[in-house]
Structure 1
Amino acid sequence: MKPRRLKGHEAAVTCCIASRARPGIIASSGEDGRICWFDLRCKDVLFTIDLGEQPVSSLCFKAGNEDIVYASSGTKVLCLDIHMVSSWKPLETYNYNKDEINQIAYSSKSNFLAAADDSGDVKIIDTSQQCLYKTLRAVHTSICSSVQFLSWKPWAAITGGLDSKLAMWDFSKGRPSNVIDYGMPEVDGTVSCGNVGQCLNPAFVHSIAVPETDMLLGLHKACAVARGDGVVDVIDLESGLATMKSKNFSQSKNFQSRSKKSGIQAANQATGRNLGKRIQLDYSLGGHTAAVSCVSFSLFGERGKFLISGGNDACVKLWDWSRYFCAEQTSCNNDLILNIDVKKKVNWLCTTTADSENLVVCDTSKLLKIYTVL
C-alpha cells in the first residue's frame, strides 16, 4: 500500500488532528516546534506556525469552533486563531503545568481543557474564565501520558500513565472514581492476558481513545487503551463503573486533604478488576509485537466501527472491534482487517471524515503519510 506523503516539518511529527467541520483539513505538530496546516485537495502545505524551539507535543481543536486550535509546547498551552497565522501570536497562554505536557484534550460538552504532564498531574483549565479549575493528582506515580474527556458523561475524564494505571475522574471534585492497574496480575477469569509472562515491556498506558457521541449508536460506551506490552485493551466503561460503585472514592470526605502517599494507597485499594465486557487485541490475534503508541476510533464510514492502532513495531492495525461488542461474539479472531507496515515507529495517527477513508500517520520521519485503508 503506497502512501501519499505530506511535507512541511523539519523533524519528527508528533501529533495530527483532522477537522470534522472541514473534511480533508489536517493539522500536525512536530519536534521542530512547528504546526503545519494541510488540505488533502492540495499538494503542498497551506501554512505553518512556528512556535519556537521546543517540540509541540499535542494539538486539539476547540469544540464547536475549529478556527481555534490549542497546542502544548513544554509546560505551556497556547491558544491560536488560524486566521491570524501571519503574526502567530497566541490569543491565550496557560502555564499551569510544572512539567512537560504530553497531551491536551478539549471537552466536547463544556469549555474545559485538560493537560497531562510528566509529573503525573493533569490540569483542568476553564478556558471561558481563563483560569485553572482543578488539578488531578495523587494517582499517577509516573508520567501521565494521555487524557480524554468522556463525551457522554458530564464532569468525567479518563487518564493513563507510565505507571500502568488507567484512572477515571470526577473532575468537578478532583477525585478519582475508579483506577485500573495494568501492572497487577489479572484476576478476572473472563479476560485472557495477551502477553503472559511479559517483563521487558510493561503495560504502560501510552494512549487513550474514547468514542464521540455520534459514534455510540449501537455501540457500548467504550475506552480503547494502547499499552506498552503490545495489547490494545477495549473496555466497556459503563459496565466497569457499575461494578466499582461500591468502591467509589467518594466514601472519603477528606480525600483532598490526604498526603500524596495516602492518596496513592487509596487508589491502589480501589483498583478495578471486574471490568465487565472487555476485549484484548494482542499479538495472538495478529496484533502488535512491540509497544502500542497510539489508538483511535475511525471517523470515516460508520463512525467508530473500526479501531486503529499504531506501534513501535512500525505497524498500523485496523480492527473491527464493534463486532464483538455489538454481536455478543465470544471470539475476536477475525477482527484484524488490515495490517500496514509504515517502515517507521508510529508516533500518532488520526482519520478523516472524508469519503475516501483516509488514515493519517505521524512517524519518526519528517513526513505525514496518508493511506486509503478500505
Structure 2
Amino acid sequence: MAVKWTDGHSSSILCLNINKEGLVASGAERGELTIWDGKGIPVGQLQLCKADDVTSVVFSPTCPTRLYTSHGETISLLDVRSLKEPTECFQVNEEEISCLSVNETDNFLAAADDSGTIKIIDLENKKVSRSLRHSNICSSVVFRPQRPQSLLSCGLDMQVMLWNLQKARPLCTTNLQDCEMDEANPQTAGHFLNPPLAHSLSVASCGNIFGCGAQDGKVRIFRVTGVKFEHELGFKGHSLGVSQVLFMPEAYWLLTGGNDGKVLLWDVSSGVGKQQKSPAKSLQRKKAQAPTSTKKEGKPNKMVSNEHARILPKLTIEHGEKVNWISCTEIKGSKRVLVADQSSSISVYPLPEA
C-alpha cells in the first residue's frame, strides 16, 4: 500500500525530480512548485506563473541546490534553499516546453517543446548553442551518462533520435513504426489504430542502453554503438500508453508507468546481454569482431519480443490512476518509487532490492 505525500499541491502533479541529497522537487498545474524532504514533508513552495503548468523539473547534477524548471515557454533557475524569484530565466522556446535535461557537467541544458524544437542552452555563456528539431511534439529529451555532448530525443512523430552537440543533424534516427514486434504477422500490430507515439526515454547508467515508452503500450530497449543505435529488446509493457520509463541506478532494472494505472518493474539484463563494465572496451571488441555490414545506417534490427526473451515484470503496482511521472529514491535505507498522477499527492511504494 502506498504512503501518500500530501499538502504540497492543490493541482495535478505533472513532474518529479530528486537531487543527490534526497530532496524531491514536484511541479504541478497552475505554476505550483514544491520541495519535499525525504519524509514527505514540504520544505519549500512557490507559485510561478499561474497561467502555465510546471511541466519539468531538473536538479543540477553538480550543485544540488540549483533547480531548473519549465513553465509555459519559460525556463526558470531556482535556488531551493530559498524559494523566491528565479535567479535566472531563459525564454528561448516558442511553444510550451515538455521536457528538460541537463548534462552531467551542468554546462548544457536541453529544452524540448510542443513545436518539436529542442533548444540547447550553453549555461556558461547563457545563450542558445544549437536548435534541433522533430516534426511533431518532442516529448522527451535526455543527455547520456558519461557523454556530456550526446543526447537522445523522442516525440509524437514516432521518431527516436541520437544527437551530438557538435552537429545540427541527428547521428541516427529510428521510426518506431519500423520496430515491428510481431514478426510473424506484422499486420496484427494495430499501428494504424494505436500508433507508437513516443512518450518517454531513460538511459541506463552505462550510457549505452536506453528505453523508450510509447502510446501502443510497448517498451523498446536500444543499444548505442558509436554513432548508431539498434534494437536489443521489445515487450508489451502496458495495456495503454507507456507514459514513463526510468532506469534505476542498478544497470538494466527498469521502471515503467502507464496510462493504465500500473507501475511495473522489469529486469531487462537477460535481453540486453552481459552488463558492460567498460563500454569503451566492449565497443573495441565489437569493432574487432564485427563482420562487414551492408545494412543502412540507422535502420533497426528485428526486435526480440518478450515471448522469446521471456521478459516478465518483477513487480506490478496497481496504482489505479494514470501515471504522469515516476522517480526513484532511497528512504531509510530502502528503495522507493515515487508516483505522480492526476491527483495533488505523491504516492510512495517500496521496491525490492535489485
- Shorter-chain-normalised TM-score: which range? 0.7 to 0.9
Contact 2:162–2:171 (CA<8 Å) still a contact in 1? yes
C-alpha RMSD of the superposition: 2.4
SS of structure 2 residue aligned to 1:313 = coil
Whole-angstrom distance in 1 between the partners of 2:238 and 2:196? 13
The Cα shift of 1:198 comes to 3.2
Whole-angstrom distance in 1 between the partners of 2:336 and 2:181? 39
The Cα shift of 1:192 comes to 9.5
Alignment of 1:1-374 (within 5 A): 1-20=1-20, 22-23=21-22, 25-41=23-39, 44-53=41-50, 54-85=52-83, 88-137=84-133, 140-184=134-178, 186=180, 196-211=189-204, 215-216=205-206, 221-238=208-225, 241-242=227-228, 275=230, 278-282=232-236, 287-299=237-249, 303-327=250-274, 331-354=308-331, 355-374=333-352
The Cα shift of 1:188 comes to 11
Whole-angstrom distance in 2 between the partners of 1:311 and 1:136? 28
SS of structure 1 residue aligned to 2:147 = coil
The Cα shift of 1:185 comes to 6.4
Contact 1:359–1:373 (CA<8 Å) still a contact in 2? yes
Contact 1:10–1:32 (CA<8 Å) still a contact in 2? no
Q: Percent identity?
A: 29
Runs of at least 5 residues in structure 1 that lack an aligned partner in the other structure: 244-274
1:313-339 deviation digits (Å, cap 9, x = unpaired): 011110011232235999432441011
CA 1:2/1:153 → structure 2, altered by over 3 Å: closer, same or farther?
Answer: closer
Report the AA paired with residue 279 of structure 1: L
- Relative to the length of structure 2, the TM-score reads 0.84
Whole-angstrom distance in 2 between the partners of 1:366 and 1:225? 27
CA 1:4/1:161 → structure 2, altered by over 3 Å: closer, same or farther?
Answer: same
User: Is the strand fraction higher in 1 or 2?
Assistant: 2
- Relative to the length of structure 1, the TM-score reads 0.80
SS of structure 1 residue aligned to 2:16 = strand
Report the AA paired with residue 220 of structure 2: D
Report the AA paired with residue 200 of structure 2: S
1:293-327 deviation digits (Å, cap 9, x = unpaired): 0110114xxx2341000011011110011232235
